[in-house]
Structure 1
Amino acid sequence: METKQSPEVAASPGEQASPTQETSLVRLAFLTLLAGAVSGLVAALFRLLLQQAGELRGQLISLAHGIPLAGFFAVVGVSATLALVAAWLVRRFSPHAAGSGIPHVEAVLQGAISPARPVLGIVKFVGGLLALGSGLVLGREGPSVQMGAAISYWIARLFGCRWADCRVLLAAGAGAGLATAFNAPIAGAVFVLEELVQRFEHRIAVAALGASASAITVARLILGNEPDFQVAAFPQPDIASWPLFLLLGGIAGVAAVAYNRSILGALAIADRSAAWLPVEARAALIGALIGVTAWFAPGLVGGGDTITQSILSGDAALAVMPVIFLLRFALGAVSYAAGTPGGLFAPLLVLGTQIGFLFGAACGGIPFVTLPPEAFAVIGMAAFFAGVVRAPLTGIVLVAEMTGSSNLLLPTIFASFAALLVAALLRDNPIYDALRERTTRLEARIRTISGTS
């Protein structure tokens, strides 16, 4: 990342910033704290309601098993209906609410498209609840990031900010959304600089830190202070294990490239079928597939936090983990093509955890390996994130905050390095770069339709 100081706050050598500039920065800091607090409140409520939706889905499936045939069709029908309604809301009111939302935020920050109307946040909230509540294998962070960005932008507009300050607040609000989604304030700020703007800007850095801090302060009043995952303390790895971390990272990098291509492939198939299969029908079919899966294995649908926690706690069944990995891998790509709100982070963290655990279990017989498979699962989580998103610092910090495993930082760095290297050698584009191109094409189609209507 290159260092760039904003011209609005920079002063020539030997000069002090003018009082106007200082006042502007103080005002921006105040708005940052306000925007972060509101974004954190909305994202925390979204996360809380998602938890309740997951519980309701589990209760429905449990009750439905009491009346097998009718219950089966009820579970499949509810899942299909929720996905259909979510897709309809997106198509009817805010097309940019489909998918993660992070590519849309990046495109706005780069000036490629205009900020969305306030209705986007509403569609993202309601549609996200419906889509993730149906069991689609999607993450909560995408909606949280896009809602945080939208909320912060409109707060900036409400206070009459210039575009330069609107842009800063929009980026900071997006980071606040990510911070709240995973209870990871530092990762939220790092994500803004590493992924969203991809360079260091002092004003954005100040705003990102302030927004993430205020968002987490509000969110923890609702969600509590505990890390997302409870992980046992791990011993320090033997230095002889270093080559194994590089190997794990290489494997994660290959898997990440395959995952990215599967997502883009599923989207390409969805695009080709759009002429004869309406998006609502496609979402309903995918929702029905998720409903069938949920009937037989309720724990395998949704974002996957329970799967990750069971692996990190050592409670997962090793024998069936490869099957679960392949199933989640496929369902993640298919779910993203449903045209509903939902992110990529949470599902890919599950896959990374499984890759690491399986690798650690395979290394169990090596004499100098002192780490249990659960520790390799933590490392694999960060390495797979780095390979998919190409934001290694965000991944490393995010996993450290979510698990509290700071003593695994060095092995995680080695593995993330290898994952990045392999992905680059395989000439695979970062997933959000490809998705951002789709976002700009969608904007062009929207403008064309608006201009001819």
Structure 2
Amino acid sequence: MPNFIKDNIQKTSNNSSRSIKKLLKQRSLVVAFSLLLTGLGASITSISFKTGIYFINNWRLALLDQFPSITVLPIFGALGGAIAGYLIKNIAPAAKGSGVSQIMGFLRHKKVPMNLKVGLVKLISGIIAIGSGFPLGPEGPSVQMGGSVAWQMAKWLKAPTAFRRVIVAAGGGAGIAAVFSAPLGGFVYAIEELLNSARPVILLLVVITTFIADSSADIIQALGLDPKAGGFDFNLGFLIQKEYDPSVFFLPIDFIYLVLLGIIIGIFAELYSRYVLLMQNLGKKWYKNKFVLKMSICGLILGSIYSCLPSTFHNLDELQKIIAEQNTSIGIALLAVLVLFITTGLAAASGAPGGLFYPMLTLGGSIGLIMGSWVEIATGHAPSTYIFAGMGAFVAGCSRTPITAMFLAFSLTKNLLIMKPVLISCIASFLIARAFNEESIYERQIQIELED
């Protein structure tokens, strides 16, 4: 990022801090309501998003039991892409893309529409696109939806402009917190990636918002709105929600292995970032303003590709699960790396409303599984944490946020012992990827996705 932009952001942060302190003294009730409504809004939209994807995806999988995949998947992809593209183009063009770059653009004083209409279109179109087979995740849209809700709440409550910027970033972090059940991950992401600020008053506002979002998301899930609930029980209260429960052993020799894994993944993450950006530029060049056609054709191509693959690849949640639990072969893991590398770039090129964190986690986990198996064959030993370290390292290499990446990988296991090995690989990956380019994939996407 150019120095004058960094200086401008720092000055804005200082001004925001002073304005917010003044606001806290004069209108503390407005601040409290803004934080509460932003956290609740982010959790409701994020859980609704995950639930909608779950049901459409299940419908698609049920049809695969009755009809051949070569018929179902391409048709689903083409129709889903066309419907989502039509909604975005005709109602809220700002709802296209990952969502993270839109929030980052807004925080860097670019003209980005921020309102409930954008959030609602992002919600519906994202559910349709991802549920129809676009290999993207819910976290990017959750960041944008959380930010849009936050902006609208602050506007309704007539909060000053400086406070709106902070609350938008807090809303984005709240979206991450709700969708990953990771309040610390959402908090650190808002500070590390979105705000680039560590002012105490700003830290306080962000951490309150992300914890409200995570807690309310757990309660909403317990009401039955998310079929994969587990973070709250009305008799027992809040519970530790683990997606995976791996055996974790961290030996001193593992440090070397984990650094090597981080170096390899850092190089691969930068290659992946450049590939995604290249595909996005080609998509804009080839289709220009034919957004609906572009999404429909991409959906058709994606469906056709996945119809030729084993059934494991028809449900990306299950693919990530068998990789994380090591219930698959090296051949499937290698195929997962190749397929997700190609198809997520194609999906991003279409402008589909979906995030990259989720496929990044699966890609990193697959590389960790492959490298772990090869290292064990070669040396007789491999760290037990290679898969989750790979997940965190890939996110860190692409997003340039090693602390956030560590907390996201930790959120999958809730095992404190895993944080050390994951952080080692995350830092190594971050440093290697940053040596090639200081900007994250999202910073480089800002110009591409906001050009229109």
- TM over 0.5, shorter chain: yes
Computing the radius of gyration from Cα coordinates, the structure with the larger value is 1
Q: How much does 1:290 deviate?
A: 2.2
Q: How much does 1:427 deviate?
A: 3.2
Q: How much does 1:309 deviate?
A: 1.5
**Counterpart of 2:161?**
163
Give per-residue Cα distances to partners, 1:201-250, cap 9 Å, x unaligned: 33332222111111111211213215462122312x22122111111001
**Counterpart of 2:411?**
401
1:330 aligns to 2:352 (yes or no): no
Structure-2 separation of matches of 1:30 and 1:402: 31
**Counterpart of 1:262?**
275
Query: 5+ unaligned residues in a row in structure 2: which ranges?
Result: 1-5, 222-228, 232-239
**Relative to structure 1, is the Cα distance of residues 8 and 317 closer, same or farther in structure 2, using a 3 angstrom cutoff?**
closer
Alignment of 1:227-246 (within 5 A): 227=241, 229-235=243-249, 237-246=250-259
Q: Which of these residues, 104, 110, 113, is aligned with residue 111 of structure 2?
A: 113
Q: Does structure 2 conserve the Cα–Cα contact (< 8 Å) formed by 1:305 and 1:350?
A: no
Structure-1 separation of matches of 2:38 and 2:158: 14
Structure-2 separation of matches of 1:355 and 1:441: 34
Structure-1 separation of matches of 2:277 and 2:17: 41
**Relative to structure 1, is the Cα distance of residues 209 and 426 closer, same or farther in structure 2, using a 3 angstrom cutoff?**
same
The secondary structure found in structure 2 opposite 1:200 is: coil
**Counterpart of 1:449?**
none
Give the counterpart letter for 1:73 in structure 2.
T
**Counterpart of 1:250?**
263
- Report sequence identity in percent: 25
**Counterpart of 1:430?**
440
**Counterpart of 1:292?**
304
**Relative to structure 1, is the Cα distance of residues 241 and 61 closer, same or farther in structure 2, using a 3 angstrom cutoff?**
same
**Counterpart of 1:447?**
none
Structure-1 separation of matches of 2:378 and 2:28: 56
**Counterpart of 1:342?**
354
The secondary structure found in structure 1 opposite 2:244 is: coil
Q: Does structure 2 conserve the Cα–Cα contact (< 8 Å) formed by 1:300 and 1:328?
A: no
Q: Which of these residues, 31, 38, 42, is aligned with residue 28 of structure 1?
A: 31
Give the counterpart letter for 1:53 in structure 2.
I
Q: Does structure 2 conserve the Cα–Cα contact (< 8 Å) formed by 1:172 and 1:189?
A: yes
Structure-2 separation of matches of 1:207 and 1:301: 41
**Relative to structure 1, is the Cα distance of residues 170 and 289 closer, same or farther in structure 2, using a 3 angstrom cutoff?**
same
**Counterpart of 1:68?**
none
Q: Does structure 1 conserve the Cα–Cα contact (< 8 Å) formed by 2:262 and 2:429?
A: yes
Structure-2 separation of matches of 1:208 and 1:28: 12
1:360 aligns to 2:372 (yes or no): yes
Structure-2 separation of matches of 1:92 and 1:191: 32
Give per-residue Cα distances to partners, 1:380-436, cap 9 Å, x unaligned: 111111100001110011111122232122222221222122112223631011111
Which consecutive segments of 4 or more residues in structure 1 shift more than 4 A? 1-11
Q: Which of these residues, 54, 57, 62, is aligned with residue 54 of structure 1?
A: 57
Structure-2 separation of matches of 1:202 and 1:214: 18
Give the counterpart letter for 1:119 in structure 2.
K
Q: Does structure 2 conserve the Cα–Cα contact (< 8 Å) formed by 1:254 and 1:422?
A: yes
In the comparison of the two structures, how many residue pairs are matched? 426
Query: 5+ unaligned residues in a row in structure 1: which ranges?
Result: 12-16, 66-70, 443-453
Structure-1 separation of matches of 2:17 and 2:331: 58
Alignment of 1:92-131 (within 5 A): 92-131=90-129
**Counterpart of 2:421?**
411
**Relative to structure 1, is the Cα distance of residues 86 and 144 closer, same or farther in structure 2, using a 3 angstrom cutoff?**
same
Q: How much does 1:25 deviate?
A: 4.4
Structure-2 separation of matches of 1:367 and 1:294: 36
**Relative to structure 1, is the Cα distance of residues 368 and 73 closer, same or farther in structure 2, using a 3 angstrom cutoff?**
closer
**Relative to structure 1, is the Cα distance of residues 228 and 268 closer, same or farther in structure 2, using a 3 angstrom cutoff?**
farther
TM-score by length of 1: 0.88
Alignment of 1:205-224 (within 5 A): 205-221=203-219, 222=221, 223-224=229-230
Q: Does structure 2 conserve the Cα–Cα contact (< 8 Å) formed by 1:238 and 1:369?
A: no
Q: Does structure 1 conserve the Cα–Cα contact (< 8 Å) formed by 2:94 and 2:113?
A: no
TM-score by length of 2: 0.88
Structure-1 separation of matches of 2:360 and 2:340: 9
Structure-2 separation of matches of 1:347 and 1:194: 21
Alignment of 1:129-168 (within 5 A): 129-168=127-166
The secondary structure found in structure 1 opposite 2:330 is: coil
Alignment of 1:358-397 (within 5 A): 358-365=370-377, 369=381, 371-372=383-384, 375-397=385-407
Question: What is the Cα-based RMSD across aligned positions, in Å?
Answer: 2.4
Structure-1 separation of matches of 2:287 and 2:297: 14
Structure-2 separation of matches of 1:88 and 1:244: 48
Give the counterpart letter for 1:57 in structure 2.
R
Alignment of 1:6-21 (within 5 A): 6-7=14-15, 21=24
Structure-1 separation of matches of 2:371 and 2:271: 18
**Relative to structure 1, is the Cα distance of residues 283 and 298 closer, same or farther in structure 2, using a 3 angstrom cutoff?**
farther
**Relative to structure 1, is the Cα distance of residues 435 and 9 closer, same or farther in structure 2, using a 3 angstrom cutoff?**
closer
Give per-residue Cα distances to partners, 1:429-451, cap 9 Å, x unaligned: 31011111224422xxxxxxxxx
**Relative to structure 1, is the Cα distance of residues 10 and 261 closer, same or farther in structure 2, using a 3 angstrom cutoff?**
closer
**Relative to structure 1, is the Cα distance of residues 216 and 117 closer, same or farther in structure 2, using a 3 angstrom cutoff?**
closer
The secondary structure found in structure 2 opposite 1:418 is: helix
The secondary structure found in structure 2 opposite 1:242 is: helix
